[in-house]
Amino acid sequence: MLLGLSFVSYFYGKRLIRRRVYEQKISQHSRDSYHGLYLSLYLIIPSVILTLIWLASSPNIIDSLLKSKIKNSFPDLSLGEINILKSKVISAYDGILPVDSEQMEMLVNFYNSANIISTNFLIIISALVSVSFFLFALNRIRVRFNARSKVENILKFSMILASCVAIITTIGIVLSLIIETIEFFKIIKITDFLFGLQWSPQIALREDQVAGEGLFGAIPIFIGTILITLIAMFIAVPIGLLSAIYLSEYSKPKIRAIAKPMLEVLAGIPTVVYGFFAALTVAPLLRNSGASVGLSLSSESALAAGLVMGIMIIPLISSLSDDVINAVPQSLREGSAALGSTQSETVKLVILPAALPGIVSAILLALSRAIGETMIVVMAAGVAANLTFNPFESVTAVTVQIVVLLIGDQEFDSAKTLAAFALGFTLFIITLLLNVLSIYIVRKYREQYD
């Protein structure tokens, strides 16, 4: 409805100015449509902002109202019981639970009327705001009025606001991770987390169970992540780099035109698909071939996860290094050929050294992608934290533990949940460092040719 009104006001503004220009016979400052836009923006923006704020805050306000109502009518309930009753009332209001008692009916009615009042109030207030802003705008537009720059300022302001979303997101990520991590380190000592050798976060279900603490030594998880990542890089770096060299130095344009998009397809496959491939095709294959030569492979071996993760990384490395190799100026190649070197000597002795900073930064980016990769390891690697460097055994990874810790259990103050945030924070810091390092390397060591 608001949208329709703003349309109407747009055309109204346009007509109004047209007529006034006719009557007053002076040339206008801005074109008609800017006056129309000015009117409709003033009509719509304040009330949209108001509605958003209202929708974000009103559930909390109504919640606390309901809580205090329950407190007043049943003064002898404990805090936990109040919360349970509250959620019961809300689900009864949604029609999930039946309304079974008189008190219940009273509370549901109260909740219902609070909601209705809130909605009505919102409609009235936003209508008032809209109308007053509209009248204000209507009062201001004249033939000589500078509507264009006003509209442009609004647009520019919204652009600045949009750019700030990136900053807000970063702040949100950092804050939410840091706050939970600090909570975690209040329960578990930071040195125990970083240097502990045992990880078994399962907290006892009953109070009297032994070893109810849960152990949060993260070393085995870090080792597992490093092991899987190393295997992945071992696969991806040679294959990715060599295919990039072939594509940029040797291949005919026709082959390049086919092969490059194919590699991009490989990059576009969702990671859950790689995970399925790892768990259902690669892992059994490895286990069977291992058994035939007398090796016993775990069905969740680090090797399977690492192999498939390597496959996932190949296109990233190849396309990034392809760009870097292509950026090496042609004159270097020609100079090297003029000195009588073969093509492979040119590649090895001239192009690769020239492109090295870019290639290293590509590898670092791929490394950070591999460390943060979740679905492959969740589906193909293990859950139990074994402290081992043997690629045939089952290991676990940081991202696996985050998923395992957070699925199902939603108690926000338990050490288990907080541990997931501590792990997430570590992950964030490591990938951030790798990125900064890769940017730094490019900046510092890049040669400026011509």
Site for other proteins in 327-346 (CB under 8 A): 342-345
CA-wise closest residue to 399 among 275, 287, 299:
275
Give 103 or 431: the residue with its C-beta nearer to other proteins. 431
Site map for other proteins, 368-397, x if CB under 8 A?
xx-xxxxx--xx------------------
Binding test (CB under 8 A) with other proteins, winner from 4, 22, 27, 56: 56
- Report DSSP state, residue 394: B
Cα distances from 55 to residues 52, 64, 183, in angstroms, run 5, 15, 30
**Residue 322 is a binding residue for other proteins (CB under 8 A):** no
Binding test (CB under 8 A) with other proteins, winner from 238, 284, 329, 335: 238
CA-wise closest residue to 274 among 309, 304, 228:
309
Identify residue 350 by its one-letter amino acid code: V
**Residue 148 is a binding residue for other proteins (CB under 8 A):** yes
Shortest distance in whole angstroms from residue 156 CB to other proteins: 7
Residue 442 to residue 353: CA distance in whole angstroms: 13
201, containing H or E segment: none
Q: Under rule CB under 8 A, which residues in 392-421 are in contact with other proteins?
A: 399, 402-403, 406-407, 412, 420-421
Beta strands 215-216 and 199-200: pairing type? antiparallel
Shortest distance in whole angstroms from residue 291 CB to other proteins: 20
Binding test (CB under 8 A) with other proteins, winner from 39, 365, 381, 395: 365
Binding test (CB under 8 A) with other proteins, winner from 52, 124, 135, 155: 155
Q: What is residue 28's three-state secondary structure? A: coil
Residue 366 to residue 446: CA distance in whole angstroms: 19
Shortest distance in whole angstroms from residue 424 CB to other proteins: 4
Give the binding-site size for other proteins (rule: CB under 8 A).
Answer: 95
Binding test (CB under 8 A) with other proteins, winner from 210, 262, 293, 338: 262
**Residue 96 is a binding residue for other proteins (CB under 8 A):** no
Q: Under rule CB under 8 A, which residues in 269-298 are in contact with other proteins?
A: 269-277, 279-281
Cα distances from 108 to residues 11, 59, 74, 77, 113, in angstroms, run 46, 15, 15, 18, 9
Task: Report yes or no: 42 and 136 within 8 Å, Cβ to Cβ.
Answer: yes
Task: Report yes or no: 395 and 414 within 8 Å, Cβ to Cβ.
Answer: no
**Residue 67 is a binding residue for other proteins (CB under 8 A):** no
